[in-house]
């Protein structure tokens, strides 16, 4: 079975540019999570969706970040404009149930983002 698929795997761009990260969750999963991982701050939950609806976006750092889930098989995380401090590995994960549940999450391999 295909796992969570993220694209691109690596992205290098100049500050000020728009960045779009993509995620395809596991088929049948109804919750989707976006995380950011850095050495300094560890793993941070940015936003999660349940049944394509954003439930908690309190982790989104600022208005430059936005996330959408137009259907059950696709989500995007957009940064506009990007800044060097946004450089990190961004993970998407999906699971069978809502947050605060007893179901494990399945992670993609991440997008390594470098903003110059």
- C-beta of 54 vs 99, nearer to other proteins: 99
Write the CA distances from 74 to 25, 38, 52, 60, integer angstroms.
7, 24, 9, 19
Q: Is residue 103 a contact residue for other proteins (CB under 8 A)?
A: yes
- Phi-psi group of 42: left, alpha or beta (phi > 0 → left; psi -120 to 50 → alpha; rest → beta): left
Q: Is residue 21 a contact residue for other proteins (CB under 8 A)?
A: no
Cα 27 from Cα 75, distance rounded (Å): 13
Residue from the set 14, 18, 83, 109 that interacts with other proteins by CB under 8 A: 109
Interactions with other proteins, residue window 49-88 (CB under 8 A): none
Task: Provide the binding-site residues for other proteins, judged by CB under 8 A.
Answer: 4, 33, 42-43, 45, 48, 91, 93, 95, 97, 99-110
């Amino acid at each position: 079975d295909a796992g969570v698929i993220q694209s691109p795997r690596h992205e290098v761009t100049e500050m000020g540019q728009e960045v779009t990260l993509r995620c395809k969750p596991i088929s049948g999963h109804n919750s989707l999570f976006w995380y950011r991982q850095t050495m300094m701050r560890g793993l941070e939950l940015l936003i999660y969706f349940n049944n394509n609806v954003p439930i908690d976006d309190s982790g989104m750092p600022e208005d430059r970040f936005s996330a959408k889930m137009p259907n059950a098989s696709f989500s995007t995380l957009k940064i506009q404009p990007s800044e060097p401090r946004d450089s990190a590995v961004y993970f998407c994960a999906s699971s069978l149930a809502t947050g605060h549940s007893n179901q494990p999450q399945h992670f993609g391999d991440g997008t390594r983002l470098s903003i110059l």
